[in-house]
Structure 1
Amino acid sequence: MSNIKTKFINDPENITSELLEGYVLAYRDYVKLAGENIVVRVKPKKEGQVAIVTLGGSGHEPALSGFVGRGMLDCSVVGDVFAAPGAQRVFQALQLMKCEAGILLVVLNHSGDVMSANMACQLAERTGIKVKQLLVHDDISAGINAPADNRRGLSGCVPLFKILGAASEEGKSLDELLEIGTRYTNKVATLAVAMRSCTHPQNGAVISDLPEGIMEIGMGQHGEGGGGQKPLVSADDTAVEMVDLLCKQLKPAVGDKVMLIINGVGSTTHMELNIVFRKAYKELEERGFQVVFSRIQEILTVQEQAGFQMIMALPDEDHIDYLDNKPAEAPYWTAFGK
């Protein structure tokens, strides 16, 4: 039994396997385990359609496995808490997903994930598996216009799963999906703010130190430092500051269509998230932009961290169509389509 008194867990070493077991039991019509910590769709997609696969550590639920399902991901490879899955497990997943149309492997830009993905793809190519990678690097806390390689992957990956999943179901080729996804990743930006950090569920260690009454814009999903600590300000002031930074990165023109998502990261209430969204939406409208797709949801969490991530993108017309008009059936993202 655990001696950590802040979470409902058993043996800390079994967190990942037990949470996945519970997840697939609860959503057994959608997902199942196809290997150690490999989550796949219960109903595979049609032959001739590209498989969409991703990987990442546990501890951020519902990401990433919560988005396995029709019209989204086909497979999620899960690592231990806040840790990348090993290359062999990713390779095993690629073997399971092998198909003539190929596999698109979506990788969040974290060193462990990138290393595992690169090694797994090398193994896959040696055995005749057709696979290409798409790197997500939406976090702008490294600085406006920082090189893409220096930017981490954050929750901006989740709408990408929806776009790619819908396009794959439509029959787009591997190269076409890579092009669609690359256009999105080039025009999406995410910024996080935290006002209380979290503890590591396996050892109880505090991920980072944030004094009471202090917030940090740009904190990463594993407690990485951001743009510096400052006194906590109101929801409106926080939203305006974050919209301004995201606009400086994306450089939208008056009249541009914008995607806006507020992602709660753990303990921030939906009351607060709605208040933040309200001001962000109005700020974008006042700047002359049109919000065409929006959500308020916990899609990628950081344990009990208090704060949120603001995701903005300048989607093309096909991205909007895939986001808004195409159906999806995943445990944590359902869309009826139009």
Structure 2
Amino acid sequence: MKKFINDPENIVKELLEGYALAFPNKIALEGDYLVMRAIPKSEGKVGIVSLGGTGHEPGHIGYVGMGLLDVCVPGDIFIAPHPQRCLDAIKIAERGAGVLFVVGNHASDVLTAKLTMELVKKEGLNVKMILNHEDIASGPRNKPEERRGLVGFLPLYKVAGAAAEEGKNLEEIYQMTERFSQNMCTLAVALSPGTHPVLGTPFFEIGEHEMLIGMGSHGEAGAQQMNLTTADKTAEILLGQLLDDLQVTSGETLLVILNGAGATTLMELFIIFRRMSQILTEKQITIARSLIGEIITTQEQAGFQMFIARMDQELLRLWDAPCDSPYLTILHP
């Protein structure tokens, strides 16, 4: 393992301090290393809060800012944070209209979130929790509770954050994001593992001429091992499964995201996207919006996550709404 770090015990502290120093006009550290907006949201608007282990940068801390998250609670490397820190974050985000708590469907994150919601109830706070669970490899569509959360967290942050800025109430935002969550799906593929920066061990093993389809961020179960193939063939395999899962038909409109896992280049992602675009054009399915790059990573893991979501005019409007965070900025039209 080769990494530019100091004492492994100080990685999270030094990472967050460096991050705050890099973007002082956008984010700030509050309390026990909570990442919050440098300029808080106006009173009377719903707050948006999320959590997640560090080591996946820019996710999740990269998306704190106007039109996105108000506060993110980072944990240790690949570990969910303590519930008390999440409660503190919710209190910071509370601007008099309640808080939406967005949580990825991973066992440790969900456990933390459930304990947080118990604390929230004792405090009498107005909070609703929503899970993103769009990984089609980890469970069937009729059992969403079994599906892991992958890159789908970002579209949820985006539309929820935009709706909150517009002044929609908590119930409206919850219902809209829940509907959106039911119309998205993701599938991942890996070529090589990432390495835990503290332990120095790879997350999984894979042959030199093999790839794994359907794995989680750290090599979790659900993978289909197969021989390495071309970019076009890989795009066809993943996109075919996603379209089948979401039952997308001719004439529909999609948001498409390709998320690089950490060591996969933009060159590769654009070649993949080229084939996706060809397939969808042939099927008379419109790519209304797209996002390609590194959104959530796993150190130097090679591979990517392919995400699609069914869009309507309201969701497109919210996706296009202005936002300003360190790793996603959309300017005023």
Q: TM-score with structure 1 length normalisation? A: 0.96
Give distance in 2, aligned partners of 1:26 and 1:174: 32
Give distance in 2, aligned partners of 1:309 and 1:103: 29
Give distance in 2, aligned partners of 1:193 and 1:154: 12
Give the secondary structure class of the aligned counterpart of 1:294. strand
Q: What is the CA distance between 1:142 and its match in structure 2?
A: 1.8
Preserved CA contact (<8 Å) 1:144 1:248: no
Partner of 2:326: 331
Partner of 2:193: 197
Preserved CA contact (<8 Å) 2:99 2:126: yes
Question: Which deviates the most, 31-40 or 135-144?
Answer: 135-144
Partner of 2:172: 176
Q: What is the CA distance between 1:143 and its match in structure 2?
A: 4.5
Give the secondary structure class of the aligned counterpart of 1:216. strand
Give the secondary structure class of the aligned counterpart of 2:84. helix
2:53 maps to 1:96: no
One-letter amino acid matched to 2:247: K
Partner of 1:186: 182
Runs of 5+ in structure 2 lacking a partner? none
Give distance in 1, aligned partners of 2:59 and 2:26: 15
Give distance in 1, aligned partners of 2:75 and 2:26: 21
Following superposition of structure 1 onto structure 2, how do residues 99-138 of structure 1 map, counting pairs within 5 Å? 99-138=95-134
One-letter amino acid matched to 1:298: E
Following superposition of structure 1 onto structure 2, how do residues 293-312 of structure 1 map, counting pairs within 5 Å? 293-312=289-308
> Which of 248, 273, 298 is equivalent to 2:244?
248
> Which of 148, 153, 159 is equivalent to 1:152?
148
Q: What is the CA distance between 1:37 and its match in structure 2?
A: 2.6
One-letter amino acid matched to 1:239: A
Preserved CA contact (<8 Å) 1:100 1:130: no
Following superposition of structure 1 onto structure 2, how do residues 1-338 of structure 1 map, counting pairs within 5 Å? 5-145=1-141, 147-324=143-320, 326-338=321-333
Give the secondary structure class of the aligned counterpart of 2:120. helix
Give distance in 1, aligned partners of 2:278 and 2:140: 23
Give distance in 2, aligned partners of 1:258 and 1:97: 31
Give distance in 1, aligned partners of 2:331 and 2:92: 28
Give the secondary structure class of the aligned counterpart of 2:280. helix
Q: TM-score with structure 2 length normalisation? A: 0.98
Q: What is the CA distance between 1:290 and its match in structure 2?
A: 0.6
Preserved CA contact (<8 Å) 1:243 1:284: no
Q: Map Cα deviations across residues 143-184 of structure 1 (whole Å, 9 max, x no partner).
A: 543510110000111121111111100001000000110011
Give distance in 1, aligned partners of 2:133 and 2:61: 19
C-alpha change, 1:231 and 1:205, in structure 2 (3 Å) is same
One-letter amino acid matched to 1:331: P
Q: What is the CA distance between 1:13 and its match in structure 2?
A: 1.5
One-letter amino acid matched to 1:27: F
Give distance in 1, aligned partners of 2:308 and 2:149: 14
One-letter amino acid matched to 2:294: E
Give the secondary structure class of the aligned counterpart of 1:164. helix
Question: Identity over aligned residues, as a percent?
Answer: 45
Q: What is the CA distance between 1:99 and its match in structure 2?
A: 3.0
Q: Map Cα deviations across residues 91-123 of structure 1 (whole Å, 9 max, x no partner).
A: 121222233200000000011111111111211
Give distance in 1, aligned partners of 2:232 and 2:139: 22
Give distance in 2, aligned partners of 1:21 and 1:61: 14
One-letter amino acid matched to 2:330: A
Q: What is the CA distance between 1:316 and its match in structure 2?
A: 2.2
Preserved CA contact (<8 Å) 2:263 2:301: yes
Q: Map Cα deviations across residues 7-33 of structure 1 (whole Å, 9 max, x no partner).
A: 111111211111111111000000000
Preserved CA contact (<8 Å) 1:95 1:124: no
Question: Which deviates the most, 110-119 or 22-31?
Answer: 110-119
Q: What is the CA distance between 1:284 and its match in structure 2?
A: 1.3
Question: Which deviates the most, 98-107 or 166-175?
Answer: 98-107
One-letter amino acid matched to 1:318: E
One-letter amino acid matched to 1:295: L
C-alpha change, 1:203 and 1:146, in structure 2 (3 Å) is farther
One-letter amino acid matched to 1:199: T
Which aligned runs of 4 or more in structure 1 are off by greater than 3 angstroms?
Answer: none
